Amino acid sequence: MNQSELIAKVASISGESRKAVEAVLKTTADVIAATLFEGGEVTLPGLGKLHAKDKPARTGRNPKTGDPVEIPARRAPAFSAAKALKDAVNA
């Protein structure tokens, strides 16, 4: 399901306009990104928890030449699924 399909589905179920649903979705994404940037975590009840994970620096390889390349340390978003979501997927 892509973003347009998600917006259409939520709009049809909730009875809200597509514009309103799109605005809420964009604002939610902005708030989540800002919270992760600040080092916090976001819990979505029934879905799971989003948090930022520190990735250490490492040595990778250039796939074309095979030469070693230093990959710097970074922070990456991570998601831990809630038990309810895991159970729903495996039902």
Q: What is the value of pTM for the model shown?
A: 0.79
- pLDDT tier at 65 (50, 70, 90 boundaries)? very high
> CB neighbours of 2 closer than 8 A, spacing ≥ 6?
none
Computed over every residue of the chain, the mean pLDDT equals 96
Looking at the predicted structure, is the pLDDT value of residue 91 above 90? no
% of residues, the chain, pLDDT over 90 = 99
* HSE of 65, CA atoms in CB hemisphere, 13 A: 4
* pLDDT given for residue 41 in this prediction: 96
Task: Tell which CATH classification among 3.40.225.10, 1.10.10.1100, 3.40.50.12500, 4.10.520.10 matches the domain 41-91.
Answer: 4.10.520.10
Provide Rg for the chain, Cα atoms: 18
pLDDT digits (tens, 9 = 90+) for 40-56: 999 999 999 999 999 99
Give the tokens for residue 81.
């699924």
